[in-house]
Amino acid sequence: MLLIECPWCGPRDEAEFAYGGEAHIARPTEPDKLSDAEWAEYLFLASNPRGTYLERWRHAHGCRRWFNAVRDTYTHEIIEIYAMGSLPKSKLGIQAYEDSWRRGSAAEQNAKRGSAKS
Amino acid sequence: MSPQSHRVTERGRTDKTRLIPFKFDGRDYVGQAGDTLASALLANGVHLVGRGFKYHRPRGILSAGSEEPNALIQLGQGQRSEPNTRATQIELFEGLVAESQNRWPSLAFDIGEANNLVSRLLPSGFYYKTFMWPASWWEKYEHMIRRAAGLGKAPVGRDPDRYEKHHAHCDVLVVGSGPAGLAAALAAARTGARVILADEQSELGGGLLSNSEATIAGKSTEAWRSDTIAAIEACEAATLLPRTTVTGYYDHNYLTMVERVTDHLANPPAHLPRQRLWKVRAKRVVLATGAIERPLVFRDNDRPGIMLSSAVRTYLQRYGVLSGRRALVFTNNDDAYRTALSLKEAGGVVAAIVDLRIEVSGALLDAARAKGIEVLLGHAVVATKGHKHVRSVSVMALTGAGDGVQGLAREIECDLIAMAGGWNPTVHLLSQSRGKLSWNEDLGAFVPGQSFQAETSAGSCTGALETADCIRQGLKAGMDAARAAGFKGRAPAAPKVEEHSGSGGMRLIWTVPSTRPVGRGGKHFVDFQNDVTAADIRLAAREGYQSVEHLKRYTTTGMGTDQGKTSNVNALAILGDVLSSDIPGVGTTTFRAPFTPSAIGLYAARNVGEFFDPERRTMIDEWHREAGAKFEHVGQWMRAWYYPKPGEAQRQAVDREVKAARDGVGIMDASTLGKIDIQGPDAAEFLNRVYTNAWLKLGIGRCRYGLMLHEDAMVFDDGVTTRLAENHFHMTTTTGGAAGVLDWLEEWRQTEWPEMKVHFTSVTEQWAVVSICGRKSRELLAELCDDIDLSGEAFPFMAMREGTVSGLPARVFRISFTGELSYEINVAARHGLALWRALMAAGEKHAITPYGTEAMHVLRAEKGFIIVGQETDGTVGPDDLGMDWIVSKKKPDFIGRRSLARPDMLKPDRKQLVGLLTDDPNEVLPEGGQIVADLKPAPPMEMLGHITSSYYSPNCGHSIAMALIKGGRARTGEKLFVPLDGKTVSVRVVEPKFFDPEGERANG
C-alpha cells in the first residue's frame, strides 16, 4: 500500500485516497470542431507507461481535494506531488509531460485556445 | 510407552513442574508448559503424526519451526476447528485437542496408502494426463479429485472468534529476534527510535533458544539473550512482539503482521481477540529472519524419525526432548556435528555421522572423534528401513564424482536420522519486497542481493553461519536503520563470541545416489507436503516443463501451505542437474504473502455481521418499524419496502398502497434522496454545464428535472433541482448516487473549472423528506399549513414554497415521481418524525396510506418514469430512453454533449426503452428476462434485449414491463417473446406510458 503525501493533510495510507487517472487531459473548449477520432483521443485514450506517469489523486476520505502526482509505475516511487492546475517541477515529471503524445493532440490544442488552463 | 519417555530432565526451557494434559487422535498425553504440540509428542515418543498427500505414506515431524511440511494438524473442535496448523508452532495448553489429517480410517491404518503401491501410475501431471477426456466428464473428475486431494477439513459455520486490526508506525521494524534481530533492535532502540521487534515464536531469541554451547561476552547465550531483551525493553519507544509473524511486505515499507494473542491460552480472557492483524508502516526495516535447514534428498528420506538436524538440536536444547535414542547423523556440512555432540552430551547414542564430504577438518570433527563418535566421510545413506518409524539405514561409500556408490553396504540400526543439507536463508520477505536474490555458490543458497525498498538484511538470512557474524551484522543494520530514520548515536560494541567452528565448506549432491536409479525403487522426496520426488522433477523436465514456473505448477512442488520452505532450492537444483544448467540459470519463483497461512477472519476482523457495512436509517425509521414495515437495502440505506397488514401477502399490500397513492392519499419517507446544497455566483452556470437542459433562466422558487451524463453521453444520474435564490440551489440525486454525484461535481470544479465560484455541500442527512401523494394530498396539506397558498395558480407544479407544516419550518416542493398530485415536504431532520406523525394523524379521516419503495416503483413505472441504475446500466444514452426532450439543442456545450454525435450513438439498432404488455394481464415477467423475435426451440437465439422493470399495476389492471430492446421504438406494436424456464411468454411492444399518458393527474 502506497504512502501518499496529501498536500493539505500530510502523508496518509493509499486507502484514504481515490485514484483519478492520467493528469493533464484538458477538456476541449470547442468540442464541435474536433473530428470523432480526435474527440475519442480525449475521451478514451490514456497513456499506460512503464515508468514515470503523471496522474491525479483525490483525498477521498480526508479533505476531498484533488492533486497531481508524478509516480513511477514500476517502482511505485512517488517522485512529486503538485497542485491541480500546475505543471510538474521535477526533472522526470517535466520530461514525462513534454514527451506525452497528448501535447500535440488536436484535443489539447482545442482546449488551449479557449482557456488559460494547462 | 511411558509418559514423556523421551524427556531429558536436565535440559530445555520447559517447566518440568507444570504438566499439561492434551489429546492427540483421541489419546491422552502429557507435556510440559513451554512445549509445542510437536515437542510434547516427541517427548512421548510419537513421531507418526500424518500421512503423505498423494501416497499416504506415514510421516513424522521434520522440523521445529514454521517450515514444517509434514506435521499438519487439525486443531480444536467444532467451529473452532482449524485445518493444516503446524504442530511445530502450536503452543501446548491444557485441554488441547488435535487430530492428524489425510488418513482414513486411522493414522496407523490408512486405506489411501494403497496409492503408494501403485505409485508408478501416479507420475507428475497425473491428473492432467488422466482426466483429459472426455471433456464433459471433467466436472465429475474434479469432484472426486478434490475430495481425494484434501489436507484438513475446513470448519462448517461461522468463525466464533474475534479478531482485531491494529495500525502502527515505527522508525525501525526488526523482523526476527535471533542474535542478529536482538542486536539490531538494541542498536536502534538506544537511539530513541520507535522500534518494533516481531518474532513468530513464543519467546524472543530465535536460534539462541536452542544454542547452549556458545558464550557471548563471557556469558551464557541465555544470559546474553535475557540481558539484551531487558536492555531493549528499557527503551521507551521499543515494542517487543513475540508470537507475531510478519506475513507480508508491501509497497512503501508497509508490512502486515499476525499476532497470536490468545491461541496459546486454555481459557482466553473475554476482552482479548484471538489474533490481531498489525498493519505497520516502517521507515526502515531490518530483516533478521534467519535460515531454514535443507533436507537431503536421499532414497526413502520421508520415514517418521527422519528429521532436520537443527530440529533435533532444538528439541533437545529448547524442549529437553531426545528425538531418538540411537541417532544417525547424515550431513553435507559442519553444522550437523553440533547436533551429534549435543545428543551425545545428553546421553543419546550417535550411531555414526555419515558425511558426504571427503575432506573435513576443524574443531567440530575433532570434538566428535574425541567423544568416540564414528565418522564416515565420503559416505551416503542409500536406503532406509522401517514403516511407521525408521529402524535402520544402509550406508555405502560414494564414488569420487559423487554420482554413484561403491563397495559394500553397511546396515546401521537407528531410530532417528538427523539430516543436514545446508541452510537456506529465509528470504521470503525480501523477495516479497521486490528485493533481488543472488546465488551464493559456497553456501549453495540464495542470499539477499539488491534491496528494492528501505530495508537491510542481517544475520543468517544473509548466509552468515556464525553467531558472532550475526550479532555484528545486526548491530550495524540496526544502527544504520536508526540513522537513516533521523536518529543519532553509536552502536554498542560487538561482543566476543566463543563457539565450536568447523572447516566450512559443503559438498552439494542434490540427489544422493543409491544402488538403483532414481525413480526405480524407493522414493527421493523433495517436497514432503505435496509428495513431489526427484523422479517427478526429472520426468517433468524431460517432458518439457523446463521453465521453473511450469515445473512448479506441473509437479506442484512448492505449492503446499508451506510454500516449499524446505523444498524449493532442492527442486531448482535437481532441475538444474537435468538441464545441465546452474541454479541462477534455472531461476526462482517469487515468494508471495502470507509467509505462513493466516485465518481469513483476521482480514475481516471486526468488519463482520452488523459491522460489515454501515446501515443508514432515516429519522422516521422508528415509525416504520413499529408499523411492521418490510425493509430493503438501497445502497447503505434501509428503506421501508412495503407495509403489510395482518394476513396480507406482499402483492396484496403493494396493490393496496399503489391504489391509495392515486385515489386517496399516500405518504412515503423520501428522506434518503441525495441532497446537495449549491451556492455561489457561478452556481447556475455550473448546473448548465453538468445537466443536459437549460438552467440559467430558472426562476427563483422553481424546480426543474435534470439528467446528468458522463462525458461519453451515457446517463449517470437524475433528479430535481430547485432555485432557492439567485445564487443558491438545492439539488436532489438518486438515493444510491448521492455520493457519486457530489464527487462528480467536485471533480469538475476542482480539476477542470477551478475559476468557477461555486460550492457544494451534502445536506442529505440534514433534511427529512416526507412525500404525500394522491387526489387528497392538497386537502391534507391545507389542514396543517396555513402560511402557503396551496392553490394551483399560487403554487403550481414544479415550484417550491417555504412556510410551516404542523408548525415546523418547511420547504414544500410540488414535484412528483408518481405522476400524481404530490408534495415533498422537507423539514429539519430532527423534525422528521414529528412531521410524519402529524400527517398520519391529520390524514386518518382520508385513510392515509403509508407506501414503501415497491409501491413507488410501480407508481413511477405506470408513468414510464425511469430509475437510473434500473433502466440504465452505463450504456444507455438519453435518446435510448426516449428522453431527447430534455437534451438542450441550444446550449453550446455541456458534459456529454459532443459524444451524443458519435456514430455509435446514432445507430438505429441501439437498445431503446419500450413498454411491454403480456397477453395474460396477470402474467408478471421476471426482470432481466431476455427478449427474442425469432423464437427457436432451444438457445442460442438472437437476444434483442432484456426486461428492466416489471410489476403488476393495479391502476391499469394489468401487468406492465419496461425493456431495452434493439431498435425498440420502431418495433412498437410488434409481438416478441420472452423464453423462460419451462414456458415462453409472448409480449406486445408499446409506448412506455401505461397510465395517464397525458400527465393530467399531477395537477390534482
pLDDT tens figures, B884-915 = 999 999 999 999 999 999 999 999 999 999 99
pLDDT band of residue B145 (cuts 50, 70, 90) is: low
Q: b/e per residue, A44-56, with b = 16+ CB within 10 A?
A: eeeeeeeebbbbb
Give SS3 for A2.
coil
Residues B301-391+405-419, CATH architecture: 3-Layer(bba) Sandwich (3.50)
Closest CA to B887 of B711, B720, B708: B708
* Among A29, A36, A108, A113, the residue to mutate for chain B (most B Cβ within 10 A): A36
Q: Residue B205: pLDDT above 70?
A: yes
Give every CB contact of residue B968 below 8 A, 6+ residues apart in sequence.
B911, B912, B913, B914, B944, B945, B989
Of A101-115, B212-226, B738-752, B864-878, the range with the lowest mean pLDDT is: A101-115
Distance of CA B890 to the CA centre of its chain: 52
Nearest residue, CB atoms, A76 vs list B251, B752, B893: B251
Which chain B residue lies closest to A68 (C-alpha atoms)?
A: B751
Q: Which residue has the higher pLDDT, B156 or B657?
A: B657
**Cell 416489471, residue located:** B950
Question: Own/partner pairs for B903-907, CB < 8 Å, 24+ apart?
Answer: B903/A36, B905/B713, B905/B877, B905/B879
Same fold, B301-391+405-419 and B664-851: no
Distance of CA B145 to the CA centre of its chain: 25
Q: Residue A118: pLDDT above 50?
A: no
Residues 439-458 of B with CB under 8 A from A: 452
Do A3 and B252 make contact, defined as CB atoms within 8 angstroms? yes
In whole angstroms, what is the distance from residue B511 CA to residue B525 CA?
10
In whole angstroms, what is the distance from residue B356 CA to residue B359 CA?
9
Instruction: Give the pLDDT confidence score for residue B129 in this predicted structure.
Output: 67
Instruction: Give the pLDDT confidence score for residue B137 in this predicted structure.
Output: 67
What's the CATH number for B163-291+425-498? Answer: 3.50.50.60
Instruction: Give the pLDDT confidence score for residue B334 in this predicted structure.
Output: 93
Nearest residue, CB atoms, A31 vs list B251, B254, B898: B898
**Residue B832 half-sphere exposure toward CB, CA atoms < 13 A:** 26
Instruction: Give the pLDDT confidence score for residue B114 in this predicted structure.
Output: 77
Cβ atoms of residues B330 and B419 within 8 Å: yes
pLDDT band of residue B126 (cuts 50, 70, 90) is: low
Closest CA to B88 of B57, B62, B50, B107: B62
Closest CA to B210 of B346, B66, B315: B315
Q: What is the DSSP letter of B900?
A: G
Cβ atoms of residues B556 and B564 within 8 Å: no
Cα-Cα-Cα-Cα dihedral sign, residues A76, A82, A85, A86: negative
In whole angstroms, what is the distance from residue B182 CA to residue B189 CA?
10
In whole angstroms, what is the distance from residue B981 CA to residue B100 CA?
47
Q: pTM for the whole thing?
A: 0.92
What's chain B's average pLDDT? 94
Q: What is the pLDDT of residues A25-77, one digit of tens each?
A: 999 999 999 999 999 999 999 999 999 999 999 999 999 999 999 999 999 99
Amino acid identity, position B811: R
pLDDT band of residue B7 (cuts 50, 70, 90) is: very high
Q: What is the pLDDT of residues B992-1001, one digit of tens each?
A: 999 999 988 9
Q: Residue B255: pLDDT above 70?
A: yes
Instruction: Give the three cell numbers for residue B610.
Output: 452488523
Do A39 and B897 make contact, defined as CB atoms within 8 angstroms? no
pLDDT (average), residues B222-226? 97
pLDDT band of residue B157 (cuts 50, 70, 90) is: confident
Cβ atoms of residues B537 and B557 within 8 Å: yes
Cβ atoms of residues B292 and B307 within 8 Å: no
Cβ atoms of residues B332 and B421 within 8 Å: yes
Instruction: Give the pLDDT confidence score for residue B79 in this predicted structure.
Output: 87
- Give percent of chain B with pLDDT exceeding 90: 88
Give SS3 for B91.
strand
A59 to chain B nearest CA, in Å? 11
pLDDT band of residue B149 (cuts 50, 70, 90) is: low
User: B580 touching A, CB under 8 A?
Assistant: no
Do B281 and A13 make contact, defined as CB atoms within 8 angstroms? yes
Q: Which residues of B touch A117 (CB under 8 A)?
A: 752, 754
Q: E-strand spans in B759-847?
A: 759-762, 767-773, 799-805, 808-814, 822-828
Q: Which residues of A touch B754 (CB under 8 A)?
A: 84-85, 117
Residues 681-740 of B with CB under 8 A from A: 711-712
**Cell 524446505, residue located:** B566
Q: E-strand spans in B522-614?
A: 525-527, 532-533
User: B889 touching A, CB under 8 A?
Assistant: no
**Residue B594 preceded by cis peptide, ω within 30:** yes
Give every CB contact of residue B483 below 8 A, 6+ residues apart in sequence.
B191, B489
Give every CB contact of residue B911 below 8 A, 6+ residues apart in sequence.
B875, B876, B880, B945, B964, B965, B966, B968
Cβ atoms of residues A97 and A77 within 8 Å: no
Give every CB contact of residue B395 below 8 A, 6+ residues apart in sequence.
B352, B354, B376, B379, B380, B381, B382, B409, B410, B411, B412
Residues A3-117, CATH architecture: 2-Layer Sandwich (3.30)
**Cell 473548449, residue located:** A29
- Give percent of chain B with pLDDT exceeding 70: 97
The answer to whether domain B664-851 has CATH 3.30.1360.120 is yes
Q: Residue B960: pLDDT above 60?
A: yes
Do B903 and A20 make contact, defined as CB atoms within 8 angstroms? no
pLDDT (average), residues B962-980? 97
Distance of CA B478 to the CA centre of its chain: 32
Q: Which residues of A touch B898 (CB under 8 A)?
A: 28, 31-32, 34, 39
Q: Residue B146: pLDDT above 60?
A: no
State the DSSP string of B418-459: EEE--EEE--HHHHHTTPPEEEETTTTEEEE---SSSEEE-G
User: A65 touching B, CB under 8 A?
Assistant: yes
Q: What is the pLDDT of residues B812-864, one digit of tens each?
A: 999 999 999 999 999 999 999 999 999 999 999 999 999 999 999 999 999 99
In whole angstroms, what is the distance from residue B196 CA to residue B172 CA?
6
Q: Residue A116: pLDDT above 50?
A: no
Domain positions in chain B are 163-291+425-498, 301-391+405-419, 509-606, 664-851
In whole angstroms, what is the distance from residue B476 CA to residue B726 CA?
69
B611 to chain A nearest CA, in Å? 18
| Beta-carbon count within 10 A of B421 CB | 29
Q: Residue B728: pLDDT above 50?
A: yes
In whole angstroms, what is the distance from residue A30 CA to residue A26 CA?
12
Distance of CA B402 to the CA centre of its chain: 47
In whole angstroms, what is the distance from residue B977 CA to residue B985 CA?
6
In whole angstroms, what is the distance from residue B431 CA to residue B451 CA?
9
**Cell 533458544, residue located:** B209
Cβ atoms of residues B49 and B71 within 8 Å: yes
User: B746 touching A, CB under 8 A?
Assistant: yes
Q: What is the pLDDT of residues B434-483, one digit of tens each?
A: 999 999 999 999 999 999 999 999 999 999 989 999 999 999 999 999 99
Do A43 and B897 make contact, defined as CB atoms within 8 angstroms? no
User: A75 touching B, CB under 8 A?
Assistant: yes
Cβ atoms of residues B16 and B35 within 8 Å: no
pLDDT band of residue B136 (cuts 50, 70, 90) is: low
- Please give the biggest Cα pair distance in chain B: 116
pLDDT band of residue A117 (cuts 50, 70, 90) is: very low
Instruction: Give the three cell numbers for residue B51.
Output: 500421512
